[in-house]
Amino acid sequence: MISFHDILYVSPAAISKIALQLGPFAIHWYAILIVIGAVLAVIVAMREAPRKGLTGDDVIDLLLWAFVPALIVTRAYYVAFQWDYYSQNPSQIIAIWDGGGAIYGTIIGGAIVLVIFCRVRHINILDMLDIVMPGVLLAQGIGRWGNFINQEAYGGAVSNLNWLPSFLRNQMYIDGSYHLPTFLFESIPDLVGAILIIAFRHKLKLRRGEVFAFYLIWYGITRFIVEGMRDDSLMFLGARVSQVLSGVLVVIGVLYIGYQRLTQDPEKLAQKEQK
């Protein structure tokens, strides 16, 4: 029997994590938003693939290769940095539907599979990265709303959030305090960055790999700033892991664009990219 489990509200103050109850099975909003983001990312990538001499099937095949490994690494990355908790609650290790993932785990897992996939298929890795990363950024912006519904990835406590609409403000009331909606501070730049690069990448004279470099810089800066506001950062040796990785991404992106622009001959690059 199909019954809706308070599709919008558990109480006047909180949105239910569960979108639909199918007997003993629950479909979570978190999962729905992740799927929506993934579908849109694939559509964006499939539309771009022909410009790089690839097909939509190449994008679908990459997704099929990467989905399970990326999901596993996403969870494993998070669990590794929260081992004190999960070592005492091993049954929760696989409960990814309750949240508890790390986007950098997804990026690492997906990147490893992408490299292997491109090597096997004889596809230029930078071309594939340029194809998929705008969609990835779009999916990240959508996925952050799953964190909002799960009441996770939030910032420090504040006295009030009167500047927010009530449904956002209510959901940010956690453990007796209002908390900064850091999911929103990350979601908006992610969506704006995705829209900008999708809209203008063909109007700018971008070189191979520079769309990917844009992603590294844009997301790296966004995440570095937002991570400093969060209460639940993954820590290692006293440092916020995501801030360290974000800084590394920004440096790599800047160095790559600088190398391309300062040392590479445009005509030779154009000839190489046509091969």
Separation between Cα atoms, residue 255 and residue 209, nearest integer Å = 12
Nearest to 113 by CA among 104, 125, 101: 125
Tens of pLDDT along 52-111? 999 999 999 999 998 888 888 878 877 877 777 777 777 777 766 665 667 778 888 889
Tens of pLDDT, residue by residue over 110-135, are 899 999 999 999 999 999 999 999 99
Two tokens, residue 45: 């990538």
Contact 169, 162 (CB under 8 A): yes
- State how far the Cα of 49 lies from the Cα of 123, in Å rounded to an integer: 11
Q: 136-151: per-residue pLDDT in tens?
A: 999 999 999 999 998 9
Task: Flag whether pLDDT at 270 surpasses 90.
Answer: no
Predicted local distance difference test score (pLDDT) of residue 101: 65
| Interstrand relation of 25-28 and 239-240 (parallel, antiparallel or unpaired) | unpaired
What is the structure's pLDDT at 219? 96
Residue 227, pLDDT score: 92
Q: What's the confidence (pLDDT) of residue 12? A: 44
Residue whose token pair is 């799953």? 146
Q: How many other CB atoms are there within 10 angstroms of residue 9's CB atom?
A: 12
> pLDDT, tens digit, for every residue of 2-48?
444 444 434 445 788 888 888 778 888 888 998 999 999 999 999 99
